[in-house]
Amino acid sequence: MSDTASEPVSSAVRELVDANHILFDQGVVDGFGHVSVRHPSRPDRFLLSRSMAPGLVTERDVLVFDLDGAPVEPGGPAVYLERFIHSEIYRKRPDAAAVVHSHSPAVVPFSAVTGTKLRPIFHMCGFLGAGTPVFEIRDFAGSESDLLISDGRLGAALAASLDQGPAVLMRGHGSTVVGSSLHQAVFRAVYTEVGARLQTEAMRLGPVTYLTEGESAATTKTNNTQIDRAWNLWLKAARTRSMAT
């Protein structure tokens, strides 16, 4: 497509395909879930696959969207029902360069219980900070919705719940994380799932000692320098096991 012809955009498309495959290979997404990246030269646009399983995405499947969640080129293939998660977060958060939405299984219980927040119990999850907000869609869509973020109004409400944080849980549904780069967003999505699993295990054993606010900030700063170490490993593993070739 004309809008993805330049080298920076082509590079962003290739990385987005890699991110899709990594998130599938790491068990963050399955047939559902999606990852997007802001357009490298048009901050009012973003790149996202057409509606399909992330593990099968190729460069040909990546489309350009505007901040209303509409494909820039009309008449194309079917698009994700929940693309408004991405459009409204990019609209609200100029610092967000990438967004991952998933139903990763260890996180979902934390969206559905009251009184227990998803919090960092080990250093790799320091970015979760003092706790992760839970978006209650009933407050905006009533008690008979399909729980999906299927329009801009719900997307804006989710983005407001996320506020300036790195992650938001969605009650009975899943979670959404943002990053200042695609690599950071993928890193956070993987470690949100790992952290949820570990917190659940720890809570079975007894009272949990969580990272302090200072530890959260310090570990986040250190981890931000190490993200590509994980990305390179995950990419190699995803390519080795890829079903998309």
CA 30 from chain centre, in angstroms, equals 13
Catalytic, 82? Answer yes
- B/e letters for 47-63, b = 16+ CB within 10 Å, e = fewer, are bbbeebbbbebeeebbb
Q: Are strands 134-135 and 167-170 parallel, antiparallel or unpaired?
A: parallel
| Contact between residue 175 and residue 105 where contact means Cβ atoms under 8 Å apart | no
- Angle at Cα 124 formed by Cα 122 and Cα 130, nearest 5°? 65
- Which residue in this structure is represented by tokens 């938001």? 168
How do strand 134-135 and strand 174-179 relate by DSSP bridges? unpaired
What are the structure tokens assigned to 70, written together? 């509409």
Question: Catalytic one among 82, 136, 144, 201?
Answer: 82
Residue 91 to residues 82, 143, 185: CA-CA distances in angstroms?
A: 15, 27, 17
Contact (CB, 8 A) for 169 and 132: yes
Distance CA 129, CA 26 (A): 23
Distance of CA 135 to the CA centre of its chain: 15
Instruction: List residues with catalytic annotation.
Output: 82
